[in-house]
Chains A and B, each alone.
Chain A
Amino acid sequence: MIKFIATNKWFKDRHVLKNINLEIAKGEVIVICGPSGAGKSTLIRTINKLEPIDDGEIIVDGMYLSDPKTDLTLLRAEIGMVFQHFNLYPHKSAIKNITLAPRKVRGLSKNQATDRAEKLLDKVGLIHRRDAFPVQLSGGEQQRVAIARSLAMEPKIMLFDEPTSALDPELINEVLDVMTSLAKEGMTMVVVTHEIGFAQKVADRVVFMDDGEILEEGTPPDIFVNPRHQRTKEFMSSVFHIPIFDANQEED
């Protein structure tokens, strides 16, 4: 579904993506983690070409991103993206936030779009907040509306860039629950998050990035419990408060 081939990216002379090779299958849920500045956001934003790459190739659902003839609106219509700071349209109510793109991009009628939006609002548990404006919604509610907004385009892939890190702790779960049910329905998801519970429960694979590189990837236990690199171990213990627990040592 998504394939990175020897992808490189620079910001000026800063090498922020270093020879990324990664393949993500249809229906897979990938969690990306790593220290601040590792390039996680940049990586995820290259998938819908919010960031162009300088070298290599990314193939998304058969579309070649380095090809200038690739229609970005078609590409992006198939990829939903959820941001750390929600980015809801403040001048539109929840329902209008959701119906805008289906109407203007997919050409749905107002009724079709509203029906679809109401179903999605119901799904994220916010149908009673249908006409509220973003300022009237809590962070968790805003993020759930933002997820519904992306889903309204019926995307094949969903990207999440730290969707819960701007939320108060008690609001995190309501968003993770929506993401978990989405994963269960078979959505292809790429999630930058440091929510270890979510990763362990939902992720098929975890990718650990550091300084622009994919340092290691594997199943959640591989990365969280039994990482190979010292760098990964240090990161896990500092962020997740997992004691450095060395399975290899035990086997010795």
Chain B
Amino acid sequence: MDLLGQLVNIKFYLLGSYPKGDVGGLLLNIIMALMALGLSFGAGALLGYSRLSCRLYIKIPSMAIVETVRATPLIMIIFWIYFFLPYIFGGNVTLFWSAVVSLAIYAAAYQSEIVRAGIIAVPRGQLEAALSTGMSRYKAMMYVILPQAFRIMLPSFVSFFVSLFKDTSTVFIIGIIELTQAGIIISQREPDKIYAAYVSMGIGFWCVSFAISRVARRLEERIGVFDLESIRPDACRDEFMLLPREKKTGEGMTPAACEPEDSK
């Protein structure tokens, strides 16, 4: 009942004090995630790509950047940017930009690893095949290597985006009224219904995360990710389970679990 009671606050959960004040709530989480992704995509791809270089003066700087960021908790990055950005750009950096820049830096480092792993996973023979038909290195990358790398990357990219979206909640710490902060404010207004506020926040994050992975699956099927089986949430492999076998099937790798019962 308390949970249904939270419907009164739904506008605050979803939009913050918009349109009277700034956009907030869940919409702000979505906006921050998308902007961080947009800002970091190019940098992340470039960092991942240059880390593959054998030239140390290209490889080492990108490696240093990526490893430093990855070794730092997101919350530290948020604080650093929050305190240092005003030094560089003067006092007029808004909370919003400070949050988006922190998330973008964090996202760039993780994306670079996804890009690097994706490119490196394309078999060597593919480049040789492309070059041997007379393609330049650039054409081979554009038409043969990157399209394959992209398909390999897509599943990890999607799960990264879902985590990035959830990580946007961390910026509540500098006082941005996104979904978490909105929920905290509501729970403080009505301390007796505190659990209802926290469950509502959870539902909000869940819905958007679920929607992202659904949309992503469509996309993955459309562009033909090679290993569709592995991203199918309903895929099952009973033969890997170290449990007594349920059905009378062989020890082999038969797709036993998903087959109908014997017709004997």
Contacts and interface: CB of A to CB of B under 8 A. Distances in A.
**What class of interface size applies to chain B in its complex with A?**
20 to 34
Contacts of B147: 91
B128 interface: yes
A81 B133 CA distance: 8
B158 to A, nearest CB: 18
A72 B147 CA distance: 23
B184 interface: no
A90 B132 CA distance: 17
A89 B129 contact: yes
Interface string B125-156: 11011111111100100011001100100000
Nearest to B224: A91
A76 interface: yes
B132 to A, nearest CB: 4
Nearest to A150: B133
A127 to B, nearest CB: 21
Contact of A100 (B131, B132, B143): B143
B84 interface: no
B83 interface: no
B133 A105 contact: yes
Contact of B125 (A83, A91, A104, A149): A83
B133 A149 contact: yes
A92 to B, nearest CB: 8
B80 interface: no
Contacts, number: 64
B87 interface: no
Contacts of B210: none
Nearest to A152: B133
Contact of A87 (B129, B135, B226): B129
Contacts of B130: 89, 101
Interface in B101-143: 123, 125-126, 128-136, 139, 143
B144 A89 contact: yes
A206 interface: no
Contact of A50 (B131, B151, B224): B131
Given A83-B129, A85-B125, A104-B143, A91 B151 contact: yes
A72 B130 CA distance: 13
Interface in A47-78: 48, 50, 72-74, 76-78
Q: Which of A79, A88, A105 has the most CB of B within 10 A?
A: A105
A101 B129 CA distance: 10
Q: Which 9 A-B pairs have the closest CB atoms?
A: A77-B134, A101-B133, A87-B129, A87-B125, A81-B132, A105-B134, A76-B134, A73-B134, A73-B136
Interface of A: 48, 50, 72-74, 76-81, 83, 85, 87-91, 100-101, 104-105, 146, 149-150, 153
Given A50-B132, A76-B132, A105-B133, 18 more contacts: A50-B128, A73-B135, A73-B136, A74-B134, A77-B133, A80-B132, A81-B128, A81-B129, A83-B128, A85-B125, A87-B123, A87-B126, A87-B128, A88-B129, A89-B144, A101-B130, A104-B139, A146-B129
